[in-house]
Structure formats: C-alpha cells, structure tokens
Amino acid sequence: MFLFYLLLATVSGIAISALYPGWRDKRILEKPFPARWQAIVDRRIPFYPRLGSDTQIQLQNRIKLFVAKKKFFGCGGQEMTEEIRITIAAEACLLLLNRNIEVYPDLHYILVYPSAFVAEDLQYNPDGTVRRVKTGLLGQSWRTGKVVLSWKDADSGIKNFHDGHNVILHEFAHQLDGESGYSNGAPVLRNNSYQTWAKVFSHEFATLNKTKDRPFKAAMNYYGATSPAEFFAVATETFFEKPEQMHRKHPELFMELKTYYCVDPRQWQ
C-alpha cells in the first residue's frame, strides 16, 4: 500500500510539473543555492562580488534553473563534473540577467568534449557539387536543442575574461539569436528598436569586413566578419569581456548591446 501511494505521489508530481511548469520552477527556486556551487561561482566569475546582491541572487536562481532543466554529457572521454556544469551554467546565465525571459527554453543538451572536436558538414561548391568536409571546432550551437563545447577552450576563455574570446558566451549568444527562428544576427528584441538594431549592426558588420585584411588589430575578432550570426556572437564576447574598448571604438554598437542585455559590464571591470 505504501508503494502504491508513493507511486501515485510521484506520478502526480510529474503530471503537475507537465501541466504547470511554473510549479516546477518554484520548487527549484525554493531550494538554497549550495555552498559548493557558490565556491565554484566565486572562483570562476572573478567579478561576481561587484554584481550587487540583487544581481547575484538573480544569477544564482538562473543557474539553479539551468542545471535542473538541461542535461550535460561528457563526450570523447570527458568526465562530466559539477565544476564543469556550474561553470557553463554561470557563464551562460550572464547573458540573461535583468531580463524577464526563460532560461534558454529551446535548449536541452550540453555536450562537452575535452578539447577541439571534429564535426562533419556538407560543403556546397559553386559548380553545384556537394562534398562532406571535416572541420575542427571549439563549439557549436544547434537549433535542435543542443550546445557543444570544448572544455579546454571554455576553461581558457574563462581564465582570461578580458581577451574577447569566450566560447561559452559565443555559443549561447547563438542560442539567443536562434530564438527568433533564424540565426541571422537579429535575436528577439524587447527593448531595442529593430530599425536601429539593423542600421547599427549592418554598418558595423560591413566595417569589420572592410578592415579584416588590414594589419592593425580591431576590437572584435575578425571571425565576426564571417556572417551576421557570427558577428552577433563575436560582438557579445567583446561586449562582456572588453566593454571599455568596445564603448570607445564602437559606441553605437555598445549601446545596442547594453540595451539588449540590460547590463553594463564596464561596472564589473
């Protein structure tokens, strides 16, 4: 009889979670933020003390939801540890602060490789032929609900948070971009004007393309000249890791991203 009631309670809980997803979120958020998670955040996010208490609580809550709702898998021999899960969650959730949005609702799986991994894709040639090519990658973001990361490069990007290279921020910016239905550098905008966004981003993308073959170093990585989607992801990396330089060299772009992300990373430096 006890087992019957236990099974009934379990099934009822699953049913309630399915019918009322907010109920599950409430249960997750009611749990305290574990001290061992806090130690990882303190170690991995050096500017965490400068976020302010309200923002710190926001980040903690989003980390709790992220870890509870996403499934992590180690690939290619990578052991999946709590350190890796919390680190990725913390970095990814920096992109969600101060915004009333869900925690990457279309994302379900995070796959982590020890280092750069090889992906196979189709290459369409000008003569109409198609061939399979293998490419070494540091990260990938899929609209089918998964993000793939090289832990070696993710770890390196976190340890040097001021060089403008951060594969976690990059791939999760792609996730935000894809929420509009297309990965085209135009995510769902809530506070920005689409007209102004298009004007500023088009101008900055064209400028980066014009200067990519010149000898001087730009504020943003020239990989951003690959496509509008890559430009948005690279601009996001630069905004969070080199905010002073972006504000100085690309003030209009900085202000668009500041309005979109609802934070000013200059205050964290």
Same domain? For 107 and 45 the reply is: yes
Greatest extent of the chain over all pairs of C-alpha atoms, in Å: 77
Q: How confident is the model at residue 269 (pLDDT cuts 50, 70, 90)?
A: confident
Q: Does pLDDT of 149 surpass 50?
A: yes
Q: Does pLDDT of 132 surpass 80?
A: no
Angle at which helix 35-44 crosses helix 53-69, to 10 degrees, equals: 110
pLDDT tens sequence across 83-104: 999 999 999 999 999 999 999 9
Q: What is the CATH number of the domain that holds 112?
A: 1.10.472.150
Q: Residue 262's domain spans which residues?
A: 180-269
pLDDT tens sequence across 40-60: 999 999 899 999 999 999 999
Q: Does pLDDT of 2 surpass 50?
A: no
Give the pLDDT confidence score for residue 259 in this predicted structure: 98
Same domain? For 38 and 80 the reply is: yes
In a domain, 2, yes or no: no
pLDDT tens sequence across 28-44: 999 999 999 999 999 99
Give the pLDDT confidence score for residue 93 in this predicted structure: 98
pTM of the model: 0.85
Burial class of 88 by CB neighbour count within 10 A (0 to 12, 13 to 18, 19+)? buried
Q: Does pLDDT of 150 surpass 60?
A: yes
In a domain, 120, yes or no: yes
Same domain? For 189 and 68 the reply is: no
Same domain? For 153 and 70 the reply is: yes
Backbone φ and ψ for 75, nearest 5 degrees, come out as -125, 155
Same domain? For 118 and 227 the reply is: no
Same domain? For 220 and 254 the reply is: yes
Give the pLDDT confidence score for residue 76 in this predicted structure: 92
Tally of domains in the chain = 2
Same domain? For 17 and 57 the reply is: yes
72 Cβ neighbours under 8 A, 6+ residues apart: 80, 84, 85, 88, 109, 110, 112
